[in-house]
Structure 1
Amino acid sequence: MIPEQRRDFIYRYVHEKNVASFNELAELMSVSHMTVRRDIQLLEEEGKVVAINGGVKLNNLLKSELPWREKAELHHDVKRKMGALAAMLIEPGQTLYLDAGTTLFEVAKAVAASHCFNLTVVTNDFSISHYLMDMPHITLYHTGGLVDQRNRSCIGKSAASFLHTINIDVAFLSSSSWDLARGMSTPSEGKASVKEAVLTVSRRRVLVCDSSKYGKYGMFHICALNQLTDIVSDVHLPADAQQEIQQQGIKLHLVESDEGAHYAEAGR
C-alpha cells in the first residue's frame, strides 16, 4: 500500500472497530510499527483519530465521514434489521421522508417490500431514489439541490427550501453522531440545513442510527434528542442512555445485533 491507501485503511478500520492496536494494524498492512505510528500521527493532525496507549481510536469530534460505498460495508446486519423495524412504523397512504445514507437505504428496501400502498416518499438520496424508481405503489420525490458526491445525496439551501413546501407524516433521519448531551449533529453544514428543515415539517420524527455512532459529535448541531418522537437503534446502546431516552418520552426501538436474533423494543 502507498501511504494514502494505508491511512485510508486505518481510518476505515477504526470506523468499524472504534479502537485498534498498533500491533493489529501493522500485521494487517504488513508494515512496521513505526510506519503505523507515522500514519496515525498524520490522521491525528487531520482530527480524524486520537492516539491512545498502544493504539488508536476514532475521534469523538467527527470532522469528516466515510464515502457511501465504504459506509455500506459497516454493520450491515444491524442496519438491515433496523430498516425492517423502521418500516413497521409506517401506514398506507402516508408521506415519508427518507434521509440520505446507507442505513436509510435499508429502510427504503424494507418500505418497498412492505404491504403499505399509496405511499409518497421524499428523499435527498440518489441511491434511494434509484432503488424506488420502479415501485408502482410509491410516488417518489427527490429534493434536488447541491450534490454531495461522496454521500450520493443533495444538501444545502436548495434541498432545504423544497422540504419547507411539503408536509411529512413520518421522517426517517440518519446521523453520523448523536448523544444525550449534544443531540444530533454533523460535520457538514449543508447536511444540517436539510435535517433542520425536515424536523420542522414532520409530524413523526424517527432517528435510525446504530449505537456505534452514539457519543460522537460533529461541529454543526441539528437538534436535541427530545425533538424526536422515536429512535431506532441496537441493544448495544449504553443502558444509561436507554433509560434517559425513555424518560424523555422518546419511543426507543432496539434490534439485536447477532445473526438470526429477534427484534426487541423498549419503552412502549
Structure 2
Amino acid sequence: MTTSGTDDEAPLIPDQRRELLVRLLRSERVLSVHQLTEALGVSHMTVRRDISALEGEGRVLAIPGGARLPTRVGAEPSRADKSVMEAPQKAAIAREAARLVRDDMVVYLDAGTTTLGIAGRIEGVNGLTVVTNDFAIVEEFGLLGEVETVHIGGQVEYANRSTIGLLAANTLRGLNIDIAFISASSWSAHHGVTTPVPGKVEVKTAAMDSASVAVLVADSSKYGSFSMYRAAELRSFSSVITDSTLSDGAVESVRSLGIELVLADDENEPAQTDRT
C-alpha cells in the first residue's frame, strides 16, 4: 500500500518522507528498498539517499537491499559464542592492528576475541609490555614467554574470562600506555561505543585516558547496535579498525567524524585506509 498520498496531494518534503520511513521501520523492523519505494511513492535512488541520511543520524541502519532499525543489545554473548562469530573479519582486523605495535611499547589489549587475535599476531617486537584485563590474552603471551604481561585485576567476569570495575580501572590510571586497543560489542557513529555492562565502562575509559593513542577494533556486524551504557564517543578514538563489509553509509558516517578508518580485508588483500 502506498502511504505517500494520491497524485492530487502535494509530495512530502524530505524531512517528512524520512520521518515516514522511520515510522514504517518501527512497524516492520526491516524493509527492502523496493518495499520502501512502493510505500513512499518515490524512486529507488531517493529511498537510498534517505536511508543514507538517516543512517548518518543514527536512526536507521543500511543493510544489503534495504534498511532496519538500530538494535538494542541487552546482554553480551558469552566468550564461547563470541569465539565463533565473524571469525574471518576478526582475523583481518587483528592483522591490521598488530602492525601498529612497535619495539618498547606499552600496549593495552581490552578483553575480547578480536584483541586475542591481535595477541596471536604480534611478532618480531622487542621490549614489549602488554597490559590487559583478559585472562586468555595472558595465557597467549604465557605460551610465548617473551613478552612482559600485566593483568590489571579487578572483579572477575567469568563468562568473558576478564575483569571489570573500579579496581581494574584504578590500576590502569596508574600506567602510561602507548596504544590502547579497545573492543566493543556495539558501536556506531551516533551512539559511540556502548555496553550493557556498566563495569566495562570504567575500564575502557581508564585505558583510553591512560593511552597516547586509542584504537577501536570492532567488526562491522556490531555497527549500528547500541546498549544502555556509553563507554566513549567514536571521535574519542584516533582510529577505527573494522572489516571491509561495513556499509557505505556507515563508512561515510565514521569518516565525517574526522578519524582514521581502516577497512581490513581478507589475508590476501591490502586494507583500505581513509582519513578526512
Amino acid at match of 2:93: M
Amino acid at match of 1:264: A
Whole-Å Cα distance in 2 between the matches of residues 266 and 59 of structure 1? 26
The 8 Å contact of residues 121 and 140 in structure 1, kept in 2 or not, is answered as: yes
| CA deviation after TM superposition for structure 1 residue 135, in Å | 2.6
Partner of 1:190: 199
Whole-Å Cα distance in 2 between the matches of residues 76 and 240 of structure 1? 23
Whether 1:115 and 2:128 are equivalent positions in the alignment is: no
Partner of 2:78: 67
Whole-Å Cα distance in 2 between the matches of residues 155 and 136 of structure 1? 25
Amino acid at match of 1:232: I
Local SS of the residue matching 1:83:
helix
Q: How many pairs does the alignment contain?
A: 209
Partner of 1:165: 174
- Of the structure 1 ranges 213-222 and 76-85, higher mean CA displacement relative to structure 2 is found in 76-85
Identity among equivalent positions (%) equals 35
Partner of 1:154: 163
The 8 Å contact of residues 254 and 263 in structure 1, kept in 2 or not, is answered as: no
Whether 1:240 and 2:252 are equivalent positions in the alignment is: no
Whole-Å Cα distance in 1 between the matches of residues 75 and 204 of structure 2? 17
| CA deviation after TM superposition for structure 1 residue 265, in Å | 1.9
Q: TM-score, normalised by structure 1?
A: 0.74
Partner of 2:185: 176
RMSD: 1.7
Partner of 2:45: none
| CA deviation after TM superposition for structure 1 residue 74, in Å | 0.8
Amino acid at match of 2:97: A
Unaligned runs of 5+ in 1: 1-18, 20-56
Whether 1:223 and 2:232 are equivalent positions in the alignment is: yes
**Higher relative contact order, structure no. (Cα contacts within 8 Å, ≥ 6 residues apart):** 2
Whole-Å Cα distance in 2 between the matches of residues 131 and 235 of structure 1? 27
Amino acid at match of 1:181: H
Whether 1:262 and 2:273 are equivalent positions in the alignment is: no
Local SS of the residue matching 2:207:
helix
Whole-Å Cα distance in 2 between the matches of residues 150 and 119 of structure 1? 28
Whether 1:142 and 2:151 are equivalent positions in the alignment is: yes
The 8 Å contact of residues 70 and 224 in structure 2, kept in 1 or not, is answered as: no
Runs of 4+ in 1 over 2 A off after TM superposition: 134-137, 243-249
Partner of 1:253: 262
Unaligned runs of 5+ in 2: 1-29, 31-67
| CA deviation after TM superposition for structure 1 residue 137, in Å | 3.1
Who wins on radius of gyration, i.e. which is larger? 2
CA offsets per residue over residues 166-194 of structure 1, 9 Å max, x none?
01100001000000111000000011110
Q: TM-score, normalised by structure 2?
A: 0.72
Partner of 1:52: none
Tell me which of 83, 86, 90 is aligned to 2:94. 83
